Each structure stands twice: as structure tokens, then as C-alpha cells.
């Protein structure tokens, strides 16, 4: 039998917005090849819900067209939204098993949020290749360092001067994997301020099988700790909002809230 695939759009912020995520529930009988095929057929990250081990509410796996991922923020949020709609969630706080480790989730009437651990931020010492692959120069940057940051996977944070510069980026996608490998990154995440605790960003993945993401929870979580490091955010529960996907015509918004031991990220789903 073919699996039932629920196509969600996660972190939506307008018509045609959000990052599509095909979600398969009851995926225990699918092979790795079949999971990857779902991601390949849809051209997006896909989430798979499996029987939970003892001590967990659900287990999740994640695939992009090219490979499996240990963690995917928007596919996790999308999977929880589907499970809730199907009546498979009966409490507000959940403990999830993922290949990347334990993820906590909380559900309210109007939001789904998932946990991310404390971030690690480090400078990128050689930025010439990063600038070159994005087809920009140092004059296009804001006065902050280019950094590798992670909560789940390393993303490279590039502070550009303004939103116009961000929207105009035209990367050399043929060199993206080479440059990311050289700096130890899974994707480039240029960003620019766009209001009070609001930032715009774009995500160019290292090698996922598509050139750009409409919304990337893991990258936005990494950015939150980069902003904290650079004095562009403070550690309160006032939400940070990261807009993404506008340059693709798929407006998205990710909400981030600092916690004592990490971060909560969430957003709207349809």
C-alpha cells in the first residue's frame, strides 16, 4: 500500500507562504529508500512518524531528496500539526525521539513550539569564499562577523547591510557544497534587520537537492544565538521573528523565544 502523505506548509506568513513538508504518519513499514523517495517526489524535506520508544510520545525521522537529516524544525512542527488534526495528541507537552536527540514540544490553541538546545557560535576566519559564492563583497556586509552557529546543525550566518541587499543575492549554487564543506557548514544563512526584534533571512543549503529554503527553523534557531552574541537581541521571552521566503514568493515567519536552557521555535501551519 502507498503511504498516506499529508502535505503541510509550515511557518506560513501569507498566500503561498511557508515551507512545504510532506508528512507520513504510521511510517514504521517504510524502508529508507521509500522515505527518501517521498522527499524526492515532493522536492522538499519530509517527516515520518514512527512508533515511539519507551519514554517518548512519538518518534520522527527526516529526509531531504539527497539524504537523511538528524533534525528538521519545520517538518517536526508539521508532523505535530498533522497528528493533532488526526486526534493523536491528547496532551499539551510532548517528548519526541529524533535521530538528533530528544526534542520537547508544547501545543497551545494557536501555536506549536519545539525546543532547541543552547546554541554554539564561532567566527568563520576565512570569509573570502563565502562572499564569493554569494557574489558580494565586504562592502555589502553589516558591521558584524560572519559566524558558524548551531543548535542542531551548523549554519553560517552572514550579516548583510540591508534587506535590499539580501533580496538581490544571486549565489553560485554550483559551488555551494564546496564552500560549505570548506567552512564546516550545512548551509549559508544571510540575514538583515527589518524592525524591532525582526530580521529577514535566506537559506541556501549545502546539498539538499534544492537551491533555497522558504523557511528553516534550525537555521533561525542558530541565528537567534548569533544575534545574542552580537548584541542584536537580548535573552528575554519577547519573541524574535525571522522572515524568510519572500524572495521566493513564499512568505514565511518563524517565531523564537529564549528559554533558560535553550530556545523555543514555532509558527503557523496550514
User: 214-252 pLDDT, tens per residue?
Assistant: 999 999 999 999 999 999 999 988 999 999 999 999 999
Burial of 114 (0-12, 13-18, 19+ CB in 10 A): buried
Q: Average of pLDDT values for 133-144?
A: 98
User: 67-107 pLDDT, tens per residue?
Assistant: 999 999 999 999 999 999 999 999 999 999 999 999 999 99
Contacts of 143 (CB under 8 A, 6+ apart): 159
Domains of the chain (ranges plus CATH)? 5-117 (3.10.310.10), 120-247 (3.10.310.10)
* Residue 223 grid coordinates: 541565528
pLDDT at 175 exceeding the cut of 90: yes
Determine the distance from the C-alpha atom of residue 158 to the mean position of all C-alpha atoms in its chain, rounded to a whole number: 16
For residue 234, the SS3 value is: coil
- pTM tops 0.85: yes
pLDDT at 261 exceeding the cut of 80: yes
pLDDT at 121 exceeding the cut of 90: yes
For 184, list phi and psi in degrees, rounded to 5. Answer: 70, 40
Average model confidence (pLDDT) for the chain? 95
Burial of 86 (0-12, 13-18, 19+ CB in 10 A): exposed
Amino acid at each position: 500500500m502507498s503511504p498516506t502523505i499529508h502535505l503541510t506548509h509550515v511557518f506560513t506568513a501569507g498566500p503561498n507562504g511557508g515551507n512545504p513538508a510532506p508528512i507520513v504518519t504510521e511510517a514504521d513499514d517504510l524502508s529508507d529508500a521509500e522515505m527518501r523517495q517521498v522527499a524526492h517526489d515532493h522536492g522538499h524535506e519530509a517527516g515520518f512518524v514512527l512508533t515511539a520508544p519507551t519514554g517518548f510520545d512519538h518518534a520522527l525521522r527526516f529526509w531531504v531528496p539527497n539524504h537523511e537529516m538528524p533534525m528538521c524544525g519545520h517538518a517536526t512542527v508539521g508532523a505535530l500539526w498533522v497528528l493533532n488534526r488526526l486526534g493523536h495528541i491528547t496532551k499539551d507537552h510532548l517528548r519526541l525521539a529524533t535521530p538528533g536527540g530528544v526534542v520537547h514540544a508544547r501545543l497551545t490553541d494557536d501555536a506549536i513550539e519545539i525546543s532547541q538546545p543552547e546554541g554554539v557560535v564561532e567566527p568563520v576566519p576565512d570569509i573570502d569564499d563565502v562572499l564569493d559564492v554569494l557574489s558580494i563583497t565586504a562592502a555589502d556586509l553589516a558591521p558584524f562577523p560572519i559566524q558558524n552557529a548551531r543548535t542542531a546543525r551548523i549554519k553560517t550566518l552572514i550579516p548583510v547591510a540591508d534587506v535590499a541587499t539580501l533580496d538581490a543575492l544571486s549565489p553560485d549554487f554550483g559551488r555551494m557544497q564546496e564552500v560549505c564543506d570548506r567552512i564546516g557548514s550545512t548551509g549559508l544563512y544571510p540575514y538583515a534587520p527589518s524592525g524591532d526584534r525582526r530580521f529577514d533571512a535566506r537559506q541556501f543549503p549545502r546539498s539538499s537537492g534544492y537551491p533555497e529554503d522558504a523557511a528553516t527553523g534550525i537555521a533561525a534557531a542558530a541565528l537567534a544565538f548569533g544575534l545574542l552574541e552580537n548584541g542584536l537581541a537580548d535573552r528575554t521571552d519577547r519573541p524574535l521573528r525571522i522572515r524568510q521566503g519572500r524572495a521566493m514568493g513564499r512568505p514565511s515567519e518563524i517565531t523564537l523565544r529564549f528559554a533558560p536552557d535553550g530556545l523555543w521555535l514555532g509558527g503557523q501551519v496550514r
